[in-house]
């Protein structure tokens, strides 16, 4: 079957449309960039200079903002709150559907025995981390949630490499249950691993460096 430039044009249009549905700025830029590049190729194939010029500009704009996303230094701060915090419960209720999508096992029952920490990114409460020490040195992660706009892994990298948060509580190992494939891939990216002998009840473990 001979290649049709129209197919490339349709595919580019679909990618541009999909990019506009993304809540993550990173995904929006990457998908939109792919669509713009395809439109440039499509325009060259059919000899449509306006399409080439417009999407060349769109490509440059996407590359610029991707550069900013990856190189701009973000300011992070941890904010401990109590289980009775009014804002905590408002945050959980507001993001409940999204939390249940990624971490369906979370019970939405914060308590005073748990460590409850908001991760502020440029002073925006972009992440929420909740867990508990059930045994000496072992911290069970119940919730590690980041709002859609900030899912570029910077918050997770900051949190799990901020060993002072855990060392101050004499924690040297974190465990988390993978709730689904997306969550499992996230845990792996953060450095969590399954036990080699399989005796882990499905849990992933992160050993903190001294």
Q: Give this prediction's pTM.
A: 0.75
Q: Using pLDDT thresholds of 50, 70 and 90, give the confidence band for residue 3.
A: low
| pLDDT for residue 114 | 96
Average pLDDT, the chain: 91
| pLDDT for residue 134 | 85
Round to whole Å and give the CA distance between 28 and 18: 8
Q: Using pLDDT thresholds of 50, 70 and 90, give the confidence band for residue 198.
A: low
| pLDDT for residue 112 | 93
Q: What percent of the chain has pLDDT over 70?
A: 95
Instruction: Of 56, 63, 19, 16, give the one whose Cα is nearest residue 40.
Output: 56
The burial class, CB within 10 Å (0-12 / 13-18 / 19+), for 64 is exposed
With left for phi above 0 and alpha for psi between -120 and 50, is residue 98 left, alpha or beta?
alpha
Q: What is the CATH number of domain 76-207?
A: 3.40.630.30
As a whole number, mean pLDDT of residues 37-66 equals 94
User: Can you give the residue ranges of every domain in the chain?
Assistant: 5-71, 76-207
Instruction: Of 162, 158, 187, give the one whose Cα is nearest residue 175.
Output: 187
Residue 134 has phi, psi (to 5 degrees) of -95, -15
| pLDDT for residue 17 | 94
Residue 143 has pLDDT above 90, yes or no: yes
Q: Using pLDDT thresholds of 50, 70 and 90, give the confidence band for residue 25.
A: confident
Could you read off the pLDDT of 71-124 as tens digits, one per residue? 888 899 999 999 999 999 999 999 999 999 989 989 999 999 999 999 999 999
């Amino acid at each position: 079957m001979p290649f049709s430039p129209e197919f490339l044009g349709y595919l580019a249009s679909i990618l541009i449309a999909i990019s506009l549905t993304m809540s993550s700025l990173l995904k929006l830029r990457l998908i939109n960039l792919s669509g713009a590049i395809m439109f440039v190729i499509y325009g060259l194939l059919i000899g449509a200079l306006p399409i080439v010029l417009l999407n060349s500009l769109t490509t440059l704009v996407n590359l610029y903002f991707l550069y900013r996303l990856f190189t701009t230094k973000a300011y992070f701060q941890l904010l401990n709150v109590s289980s009775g915090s009014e804002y905590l419960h408002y945050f959980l209720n507001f993001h409940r559907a999204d939390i249940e999508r990624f971490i369906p096992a979370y019970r939405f029952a914060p308590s005073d025995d748990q460590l409850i920490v908001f991760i502020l990114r440029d002073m925006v409460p972009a992440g929420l981390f909740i867990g508990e020490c059930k045994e000496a040195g072992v911290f069970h992660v119940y919730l590690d949630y980041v709002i859609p706009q900030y899912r570029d892994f910077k918050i997770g990298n900051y949190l799990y490499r901020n060993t002072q948060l855990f060392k101050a509580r004499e924690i040297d190992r974190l465990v988390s249950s993978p709730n689904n494939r997306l969550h499992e891939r996230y845990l792996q990216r953060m450095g969590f691993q399954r036990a080699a002998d399989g005796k882990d009840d499905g849990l992933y473990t992160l050993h903190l460096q001294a």
